Structures are given as structure tokens and as C-alpha cells.
Amino acid sequence: MKIDKRDALKRIARVGVATAASTVLMACSPSTKSPKFQGVDVTGAEYARDFALPDQDGKMRSMKDFAGKVVVVFFGYTQCPDVCPTTMSELAEVKRSLGEDGKRLQGIFITVDPARDTPEVLKAYMANFDPSFVGLTGTPEQLAAVAKDFKIYYKKVDGKTPTSYTMDHSAASFIFDPKGNVRVYSRYGSGAQALQSDVKALLAG
């Protein structure tokens, strides 16, 4: 079959233009590559956006106070027998393992038991793990609003006496990047190594 030379040249030109346009688009488009996390990647989530609660010293805190740091947020209560101390211990372990970079990791503990977790109790509890960790409290209404935004479940379970109750609660941590965006949902039981991997990925930016 005879191919018209002019048609062939036109086809070559069209291919060249398309290829050039594709190259320009690739060069100008922002990189969509995201780190491979050990936890659940929740980048772009429209929940777990922020909090505005007083800390153990009575100072109001929000995500903007920790700009430039990777922030790990966990909801729990100080009389929790297992999940809470395990999670906070792992977080403290990760902070120590990072050396100088540990200064760029911030642990945040939000109580779901404000009746017993007074500022004084929270301060002592944080000191058990790392003095730089921040404990947040608030009114029942304030805490309920923040928990709702983070999709956290918690419920009081009555004990034998009025003060011996326990709290059922979600047992995961939320990891924010240095820009204050939630990036990872870290399930309880994943271990310190998985947490360290995700924190390092976000510190590397």
C-alpha cells in the first residue's frame, strides 16, 4: 500500500506534539508519590483535623503549637490497665530511638476520663513516659466534640463502686506530618518498630 509522504509527516508531527505535551504535564505536575506507611494511610482525610483543649498546665493547645513536628495523638485515660500505658511506652521508646530527631516528635494524650484525669494527674502520668509529652483535658462537651471529629469511640463502664469504673475506648493513634495534616492511622498492637518507621518517613518529608 502506498503511503502519502505528507500524511506520514503529519502523523509524526502529531505524535511529537502529544509526546511533548505529556512531558510538560509530567514535569509541571506535583509529585503524588507518598511514603509507604506501616499503618493505614489516611492522607487527605477530612476528619481528625485539629483540637483546641487545655493541657496539664492549663494552656490551650492546638495543632499549630506543634508546627514542624510529627505529632502522634492518642485518646485514653490514666487508669487504663494495658492499652494506654503500652501505647505511651512505645511512643516514648520511638522518641528515644530517634536521637536528635526525637525533638521533632510530639506525643499528645487526650483523656476520655476528665472526671479523674485532673491536670495534676495528667502531668504526673506524662512524666512517667516522657516529660515533653502533652496531656489534654477539657469539659465533657469539649472532649466529646474532639472525639467525634477524630471518629473516636468511648464509653464509661460502671464498676463495683462509683469511682472504680473503666472506660471502653478506641485504641489507635493518629500521626500528623510536620505541616499538621493527619497522615497515618496506627492500630494498637502494631508495635514500636512500625510506629518508628512511619514517624521516620514523615520526618524525612
Task: Report the binding-site residues for Cu cation.
Answer: 80, 84, 169
**Angle 192-204/83-97 helices, nearest 10 degrees?**
50
- Binding-site residues from annotation: 80, 84, 169
- Which whole-number Å values give the CA distances from 174 to 61, 185, 187, 188, in the listed order? 17, 5, 9, 11
C-alpha cell at 132: 515533653
Are the CB atoms for 43 and 34 separated by under 8 Å? yes
Are the CB atoms for 155 and 167 separated by under 8 Å? yes
Are the CB atoms for 144 and 170 separated by under 8 Å? no
Helix (H) or strand (E) holding 176: strand 173-176
- Residues written for the chain: 205
Torsion sign (Cα): 89, 42, 70, 60: negative
Pick from 78, 66, 74, 68: which is nearest to 48 by CA?
74
